[in-house]
Amino acid sequence: MMMALAIMFGSGLASGPALAAESGLEEGPSGGAMVADALVARPLLAVATVGGTAIFLVTLPFSALGGNVGEAADTLIKTPAEATFRRCLGCSVSRRGDEF
């Protein structure tokens, strides 16, 4: 009996986000997530973008010889730059669609 109640209760909780997604309700980031993003994550990501650019420039001759300049630029510069400047405040995923 208790196991059946636990399964019914658990499945109800698990389906809550799915039902919210189906109904068009989107839950935005919390205020705490926005503050942490603005004070911690964005400055660190900006430093990662600048550091990635420096590493990219130092390794550019080797990337050119290997024929993977575009891949190196995407990994070292574009990815942290998109996370820094294109992501909404407090969100965990960058916007997609427009080219950066």
Q: What's the confidence (pLDDT) of residue 27?
A: 81
For 66-99, the pLDDT digits (tens) are 999 999 999 999 999 999 999 999 888 766 554 4
pTM: 0.65
Task: Summarize pLDDT for 17-29 with one digit per residue, the tens.
Answer: 554 555 555 688 8
Every domain of the chain and the residues it spans: 30-88
pLDDT value, residue 9: 46
Measured distance CA(80)–CA(46) in Å, rounded = 7
What does the pLDDT look like over 4-15, one tens digit per residue?
434 444 554 444
Report the pLDDT value the prediction gives residue 23, as an integer from 0 to 100.
52
pLDDT, tens digit, 9 for 90 and up, residues 29-72 = 899 999 999 999 999 999 999 999 999 999 999 999 999 999 99
